[in-house]
Amino acid sequence: MTVEKKEIDWGNLGFDYIKTDFRYVARFKDGKWDDGELVEDNHISIHESSTCLHYGQQCFEGLKAYTTPEGRIVLFRPDQNAKRLNRSARRLVMAEVPEDMFIDAVEKTVRANLAWVPPYGSGASLYIRPYLIGVGENIAVKPAPEYIFSIFVMPVGPYFKGGMTPINFMICEEYDRAAPMGTGSYKVGGNYAASLEPNAKAKASGFADMLYLDAKTHSCIDEVGAANFFGITPDHQFVTPKSPSVLPSITKYSLIHIAENMLGMTVQERDIPVASLDQFVEAGACGTAAVISPIGGISYQGKLLTFNGDGKEVGPVITKLYEILTGIQVGEIEAPEGWIHEVC
């Protein structure tokens, strides 16, 4: 089936909301989900006392659809997003979305918006945003009586400006993103609300975002507001924080697999003391939206520590990781078992 694509300058997309044709919506009431439907309206009407509005009973996911060289439309590891949504839902005592319902809903939403899926070779992809919110009449701090699970999609380019161009981050000393036993490792809206002020400060100081330290000791690297951190040592190790307050990034665990199994690298998930950042010759931020954003430099206590020399060029290991990851995602490189899910 050939679909006439929308007239979009695919190569120059940023990460901005674009209304596409359909979104998916399902409602959970009286202990069960309805059949779900595709709707054109991109507004939601909910009860004024909904828990998602007052108490942050809300979680979400982010994944992408890609066009392969043969014109197939594929998803990257959607089962991992389904599992992580339900992990977040359990933490916030919300109704879970069965994994097959999640995947089916993602497929339906992508199929209904095929004209918006960026073509192969454009460098862009279709960002898919599933979200789960607590709704219905309630005012006490307790789980909602009803839930809405919805998905919208939009074509996107890179999250951080320039894509594979090194960007600088600022270490956040004034704010914590999330506490170790709190919700930092869950994909819940409150973590992002808490990051808005520090993010604005980082931007006002000329940085792409804050790089947060662990809340307990303020001595080790946690993550960026919307991406995990990793560093590459001179002896070819891929090192990433082992922290209870960072989101378990699907991209990061995919890069770990690639580093270990395709590039023969050693991987270490461990504490990364901020004082030891100079052990890395390359550093990056990774995530679905961010893909891999090479880190040119990190500012800490007034000094900018740069990577790969002066931080202006992308290093060789990150270049290789990026080529393999994106090659797998668009179907150019054979994927490990179960990573690529065909929509059509």
**Catalytic residue IDs:** 187
Q: Which of positions 218-257 make contact with ligand PLP (CB under 6 A)?
A: 223, 226-228, 247, 249-252
Distance of CA 208 to CAs 11, 25, 165, 226, 323, Å?
Answer: 21, 34, 12, 11, 23
Could you give the 3-state DSSP secondary structure of residue 261?
helix
Cβ at position 223, least distance to ligand PLP in Å: 5
| Residue 235 C-beta: closest distance to ligand COI, Å | 30
Q: Does 190 bind ligand PLP (CB under 6 A)?
A: no
> Taking the complex as a whole, how short is the minimal distance between the CB of residue 95 and ligand PLP, in angstroms?
22
Characterize the bridge pairing of strands 167-172 and 209-213.
parallel
> Is 297 near ligand COI (CB under 6 A)?
no
Specify the DSSP class assigned to residue 304.
Answer: E
Q: Which of 36, 62, 182, 311 binds ligand COI (CB under 6 A)?
A: 62
* Residue 226 interacting with ligand COI (CB under 6 A): yes
Smallest separation, CB 103 to ligand PLP (Å): 16
Cβ proximity to ligand PLP, 36 vs 130, nearer residue: 130
Tokens at 221, concatenated: 């690297």
Measured distance CA(265)–CA(324) in Å, rounded: 14
CB atoms within 10 A of CB 228: 24
The pair phi, psi for residue 103, each rounded to 5°, is -65, -40
Q: Is 50 in the site for ligand PLP (CB under 6 A)?
A: no
**DSSP character at residue 240:** E
Chain centroid to CA 222: 15
Residue 247 binding result from ligand PLP, ligand COI, none, given CB thresholds of 5 to 8 Å by partner type: ligand PLP
| Least Å from the CB of residue 75 to ligand COI | 13
- Which residue intervals of the chain are DSSP H helices? 51-54, 78-91, 99-112, 189-194, 196-204, 250-261, 316-329
- Alpha helix stretches (DSSP H) within 76-213: 78-91, 99-112, 189-194, 196-204
What's the rounded Cα separation, in Å, for the pair 311 and 282? Answer: 9
CB of 137 to ligand PLP, least distance (A): 31
The reply on whether position 85 binds ligand COI by CB under 6 A is: no
CA 273 from chain centre, in angstroms, equals 24
Quick one: what does residue 168 bind among ligand PLP, ligand COI, none, with the CB cut-off 5 to 8 Å set by partner type? none
Residue 153 binding result from ligand PLP, ligand COI, none, given CB thresholds of 5 to 8 Å by partner type: none
For residue 158, state whether it binds ligand COI (rule: CB under 6 A): no
Shortest-Cβ-distance residue relative to ligand COI? 62
Task: Count interface residues toward ligand COI (CB under 6 A).
Answer: 7
Q: Phi and psi at residue 210, in whole multiples of 5°? A: -85, 150
**Interface with ligand COI by CB under 6 A: which range of 46-54, 110-118, 236-244, 282-290?**
282-290
Residues near ligand PLP, by CB under 6 A: 62, 223, 226-228, 247, 249-252, 287-288
